[in-house]
């Protein structure tokens, strides 16, 4: 029987991991208000803030404001197309061709009275897209000067993102829509299979997977461009995830109530890595080389090296938790610690069941589930461990 590389890695690492320290350091010069977004252009890193745009030329160690021609208003999104960087602000969309030293307004074709409804900027090839809630999606071609509508008018759009040449829109009430045809007669198709909450507030793409955060229904992930979705768990308040980025085999997620989370098993399990992080209200993440940068709500930008010094330690196989019988034909028990909660996930990482318990001996039955490989996320005290379970 063939075992996929991902499955083999999961089995080899099934003892889980814990986070001991993260070596976060606060950077210098970033505004103290909310950091909404990052963009990287060559050796320049940009942040969008409550008072405009700031730039770092030394990998985030220090920041300087670059707002000439840019009103001091909230910058919600940044995007890079060729030699140009675009900023979505409360005064509309601006473009800079000199790394932020000067900015020019690029608003023709947009409903000018409704800039407060602007959401993400997304670049695909030489096209740049933006969306305005209830006013549709717009495209600017070849760094031109006029925005053309490309559909989804009268929809409460909350976010845009891309995966390769697929353009995705997250909409309150109707879920996720996708398009690969961006001209004036653009067609959009609902992509909601498995998405049990259609109030989508945020979309992120990481390593080819798409993450959708919902208003009250938690987080979902799709590995096939939205054809199918599986619910995932990233902390206890995963509807507040605002950014997901990848570096090698590490996936990082920002939660604006709970800080930064790390997964090393393709999103099956997550651990917070907040030691040393002075503000856990994290709104944006980016990776620059071997450095992880986090933009916070009130303490500027923090940085951390993405190495083993990030504080990743393997749990010993002797973690005092036993699952038996394993394999099982239906029922199983967990002993060794006072178990608080057990999450049962499919072999692909989809959350299937959540069971609460405060007993030293945990018992449950999964006879209704089909035979196969499952993962158990076992929470106890302040810790969590992952175990595999075979259902025959």
Res 220: pLDDT:
92
pTM of the shown model: 0.74
Q: How many domains does the chain have?
A: 2
Where does a domain end: 279, 313, 347? 313
Q: Report the CATH number at residue 351.
A: 2.60.40.3080
First to last CA, the chain: 15
Q: How far apart are CA 51 and CA 33, in angstroms?
A: 8
Q: Are residues 330 and 300 in the same domain?
A: no
Residue 171 resides in a domain:
yes
Q: Determine the structural domain holding residue 202 and report its residue range.
A: 19-313
Residue 329 resides in a domain:
yes
Q: How far apart are CA 347 and CA 325, in angstroms?
A: 18
Q: Are residues 114 and 233 in the same domain?
A: yes
Q: Are residues 272 and 334 in the same domain?
A: no
Res 309: pLDDT:
35
Residue 5 resides in a domain:
no
Give the up-direction half-sphere exposure of residue 171: CA atoms within 13 A in the CB hemisphere: 26
Q: Are residues 309 and 331 in the same domain?
A: no
Q: Are residues 203 and 92 in the same domain?
A: yes
Residue 332 resides in a domain:
yes
Q: How far apart are CA 196 and CA 190, in angstroms?
A: 13
Q: Are residues 91 and 171 in the same domain?
A: yes
- pLDDT tens for each residue of the chain, 392 residues long: 333 434 434 433 444 444 344 589 999 998 878 899 999 998 899 999 999 999 999 999 999 999 999 987 789 999 999 899 999 998 889 999 999 999 999 989 988 666 667 878 999 888 899 988 888 999 998 878 899 999 898 999 999 999 988 999 999 999 999 998 876 567 899 999 999 999 999 998 887 889 999 988 888 999 899 999 998 888 767 668 889 888 877 889 998 889 999 987 777 788 889 989 999 999 999 999 889 999 999 899 999 988 633 443 333 344 678 899 999 999 999 887 778 888 887 765 667 888 887 666 788 899 988 888 888 888 776 667 778 888 88
Res 360: pLDDT:
66
Residue 184 resides in a domain:
yes
Strands (E), 57-145: 64-65, 75-81, 84-89, 92-96, 104-105, 118-124, 127-132, 136-141
Q: Are residues 54 and 183 in the same domain?
A: yes
207, with CB counted inside 10 A (0-12, 13-18, 19+), is middle
Alpha-carbon dihedral angle through residues 335, 336, 337, 340, given to the nearest 10 degrees: -20
Where does a domain end: 313, 332, 365? 313
Where does a domain end: 313, 336, 352? 313
Q: Report the CATH number at residue 297.
A: 2.130.10.10
């Amino acid at each position: 029987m063939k075992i996929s590389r991902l499955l083999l890695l999961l089995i080899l690492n099934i003892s889980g991991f814990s986070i001991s320290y993260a070596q976060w350091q606060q950077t210098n010069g970033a505004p103290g208000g909310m950091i909404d977004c990052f963009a990287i252009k060559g050796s320049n890193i940009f942040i969008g803030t409550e008072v405009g745009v700031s730039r770092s030329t030394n990998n985030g160690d220090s920041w300087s404001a670059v707002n000439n021609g840019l009103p001091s208003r909230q910058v919600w999104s940044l995007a890079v197309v060729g030699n140009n960087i675009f900023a979505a602000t409360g005064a509309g969309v601006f473009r800079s061709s000199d790394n932020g030293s000067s900015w020019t307004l690029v608003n023709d074709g947009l409903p000018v009275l409704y800039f407060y409804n602007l959401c993400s900027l997304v670049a695909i090839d030489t096209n740049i897209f933006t969306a305005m809630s209830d006013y549709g999606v717009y495209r600017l071609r070849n760094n031109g000067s006029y925005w053309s509508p490309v559909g989804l008018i009268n929809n409460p759009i909350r976010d845009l993102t891309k995966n390769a040449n697929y353009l995705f829109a997250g909409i309150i009430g109707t879920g996720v829509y996708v398009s690969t045809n961006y001209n004036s007669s653009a067609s959009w198709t609902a992509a909601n299979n498995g998405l049990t909450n259609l109030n989508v507030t945020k979309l992120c793409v990481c390593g080819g997977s798409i993450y959708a955060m919902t208003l009250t229904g938690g987080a979902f992930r799709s590995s096939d461009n939205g054809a199918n979705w599986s619910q995932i768990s990233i902390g206890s308040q995963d509807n507040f995830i605002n950014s997901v980025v990848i570096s090698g085999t590490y996936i990082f997620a920002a939660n604006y109530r709970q800080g930064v989370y790390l997964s090393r098993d393709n999103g099956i399990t997550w651990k917070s890595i907040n030691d040393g992080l002075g503000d856990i209200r994290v709104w944006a993440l980016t990776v620059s080389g071997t450095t992880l940068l986090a933009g916070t709500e009130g303490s500027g930008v923090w940085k951390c090296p993405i190495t083993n010094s990030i504080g990743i330690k393997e749990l010993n196989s002797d973690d005092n938790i036993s699952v038996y019988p394993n394999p099982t034909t239906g029922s199983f028990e967990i002993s060794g610690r006072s178990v608080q909660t057990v999450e049962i996930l499919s072999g692909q990482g989809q959350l299937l069941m959540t069971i609460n318990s405060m007993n030293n001996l945990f018992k449950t039955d999964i006879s209704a589930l089909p035979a196969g490989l499952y993962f158990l996320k076992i929470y106890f005290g302040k810790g969590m461990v992952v175990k595999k379970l075979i259902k025959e």
